[in-house]
A and B are shown apart, each in its own frame.
Chain A
Amino acid sequence: MENRVDIKERMNAIEPSAVWSEAGDGMFKVPVSAFRGLAERLRNKEGFDFLRSLTGMDWGEEGLGCVYHLENTSTGENIVLSTADTDRENASLPSVHDLWKGANINEREAYDFFGIKFIGHPDLRRFFLRDDWKGYPLRKDYDPSLNPLNMENEGNEDEAPSYEMTPDGSYILKRHPLFEDQEYVINIGPQHPATHGVLRFRVSLEGETIKKLDVHSGYIHRGIEKLCETLNYPQTLGFTDRLDYLGAMQNRHALCACIEKAMGLEVSERILYIRTIMDELQRIDSHLLFIACLCQDMGALTVFFFGFRDREKILDILEQTTGGRLIQTYNTIGGVQADIHPEFVRKVKDFIKYMRPKLNEYNEIFTGNVIAQQRLKGTGVLSREDAISFGATGGTGRASGWACDVRKRHPYAMYGKVDFKEITYTEGDCFARYMVRLKEIEQSLNIIEQLIDNIPEGEYQMKVKPVIKLPEGSWYTAVEGSRGEFGVFIESHGDKSPYRMKFRSTGLPLVSCIDTISRNAKIADLIAIGGTLDYVVPDIDR
């Protein structure tokens, strides 16, 4: 199903100054002066309530700007906007954080990487890099020698700068305190057992109750997007596995699919089957790890071992075909690395037979446990509106009642042809988030069951030239990763390496909503909330 673009026809009436550009997926180029008004109209009148992705861009002469991918969640309509400010020294764009809450951190990211000032953004600090970082690394003219390794401990910036418009059209810098002097602020992370990696929260407490929470990230920011710009397309594939290592297959699938779309390459049915099965195996693996880690964080250590025990079975299957346990580097542009192992089909079937009864074990030891229920039910409630506004996709969004599964919204690979149920809950609390994942394991097993016997004969790798050049244009492809919509945005200027490659992190929206949903919760709830949101930090930081 193609993205519906009948908005294209209506656009002329909505904003005549928007220019349609055909290259790639196509997008509307909007002048900065008209952008804010257009965004408001699209959000409020046209119902584009989901900001799929916000990508900062450096277009050289054309200035610095952003690409916005919007979706109307009720009609499924999609639109891509771009806007740019030609003043490189003082690039400024109007902020849209009040229209889409998810834009908040995405704009901070764009500020961090490109130095674009978002007028009206309440808290325009750096998000990934240190506060004393010089320059903006994703600009094309960035000089890496500006920032040698700095071993000084990082100070805490307690003031949030914001740029506000004055009536005469210029803007002024204001500073707001983040925490008052009297507040009891504790630091959770970056090295903390419950942050699932190196995320850092500064939490203002009153007794045990959380008053405010400030997320710091970037402790594992490896600059993958910048690195991709220097590599050719096949080389960029290696990084995707290391973004969200629990969704290695899906991430790589997204990038391969995006490049294939740009090349206009159709892959054989066999490849689609294999990719779908692998994605689902990876999803089960990730959800098992989710359950394991959640239970460990909540103190039920034994379930942690159960989760890992069952997970090893999947890793065995993956390893036999791909050669890797955690990072498989399996998908390639136009196919997969190697054909499936002769025993693959039998082993997957054995696994399905093994896994179904094991799910009951989790129900018995954890789901039905009165303490677990007491702790999870009613804590960290994320409303449906907030979930959409933040762009919190995946299990988190579905637990809030938002049917956000990319497999259903924009079916890819074999997902349009298999029969599976999209699990949604309406509570939006930690327990719903947990149950969604538990139930999704079953659905994934169903999907695999439908496909495993029918893998058609065919090529496992299409013929692809060793040097791949994409035509000019920009493309966005999304897959349903283990923890939400994982999107790849490529802008090509016709070279053998991308001009800009952006990965829509699945975890970033999840982390941006953590402040909202953990207010007035207990500090122990924060652990449960973090556990059930199920983010992976390297995926946030990229």
Chain B
Amino acid sequence: MNFPKELRYTKSHEWARREGEKVVCGITEYAQKEISDVVFVEVPKRGQAAEQAKAVAVVESVKAAFDIYAPMSGKVSQVNADLESRPELVNQDCYGQGWFFEIEASDPSEWDKLMTAEEYEKNIQNESVK
């Protein structure tokens, strides 16, 4: 599975990419495969406050719904409106066109609390052993 090195990750399977002050977020390839066919994404509202590790979005498959947690705190500055009509983008291109939202980070130090690609991969392996 692909976990790009430049991204950081959460235990709850979100990824984050730093773009200056801003952080773009989505869900990982592992998460996308576990959920299987994404049929709907409820993205947060622009301007909404996000708190690290608190739910801000919801992803739905046919038979389940999953909370998506903010990798970092701050204000939601952009959301991916394409997901409304094309939720399948999450399955097709989870690190690209399937991004969820962008956060204007209020506490840059939180970045360092996130996992590196290597740590994340290890974490998944441990999880699947359990």
The yes or no verdict on A and B being binding partners is no
**B residues with CB within 8 A of A:** none
